[in-house]
Amino acid sequence: MVKFPGNNKINLAIFISGRGTNFKSIFNFSKKKKSILNIKLVISDNKYAKGLEFSKKKKISTKVVKFVKKRDAENKILKLIKSNKIDLICLAGFMKILSENFLEKCNLKILNIHPSLLPKYKGLNTHMRVLKNKDKFSGCTVHLVNKNLDAGKIILQKKVRVNKNDTIKSLEKKILRMENKIYPLAIMKTVKSIF
C-alpha cells in the first residue's frame, strides 16, 4: 500500500516505444481541472519513438534507455523510478517485457493496455487473429502487469464491434480510439484502489 503523496498528486511514469497516442490521452486527462495525475517521467527503449517529441514539447522529464543488456537497462529504470518518486507505472505501447526481478524490485503497480479482450489473444498480431477467427467483437483491456504475459488482473475492458469489411488497419484504428478513452479511466480506478 502506497501512502497518498503529500502534494495530492500521483506521480506517473509512462513507458513508450512508438507513437505515444495513449500517453497523449493520459497527458490530456492529467491536465483537466482537479486532476490528481502528474506525468513525472517518460521512458522509452526507442530513441526514434514519436511520442518522445510530444514529451519534450511538454517539458516532461524524458529518458531513453537502451535494452542492450536487459538487467542493466532495468536497473537504470529502477533508479529513475526511485529518484522521481513515481507512484504508478503505465506501459503505453512499450514493446519490452519486464522481468520478474524488475517487478519485485520495483514494488509498484504497473498497468498495461492490450488491444484485445483478454484473456483472448495475448501477445502480438491480435487484430490479424481476430479477423482470421471471424470474431464479432474485439476490444481492449487495461490490466495489471505480473510475471506472465498479458495475464494480470483486468482493471477495465471495452468491446468494439468487428464489421465484415474491417481490415487489420481499420480495426486497429477503432480499437486505438477506445484505448485512448479507457486508459485514463483505468488509471483513476487503480489510483482509488491503492491510495
Catalytic residues, which ones? 114
Quick check: helix, strand or coil at residue 136?
A: coil
The cell for 142 is 487495461
How does DSSP assign 58-123, residue by residue? TT-EEEE---SSHHHHHHHHHHHHHHTT--EEEESS--SPPPHHHHHHH-S-EEEEESS-TTSS-S
Q: What backbone phi and psi angles, to 5 degrees, belong to 137?
A: -135, 145
Give, as one character, the DSSP assignment of residue 2.
P
Residue whose C-alpha cell reads 506517473 in the numeric block: 12
Reported as type and span, the H/E element at residue 23 is helix 21-30
Among residues 137, 159, 150, 56, the alpha carbon closest in space to that of 111 is found at: 150
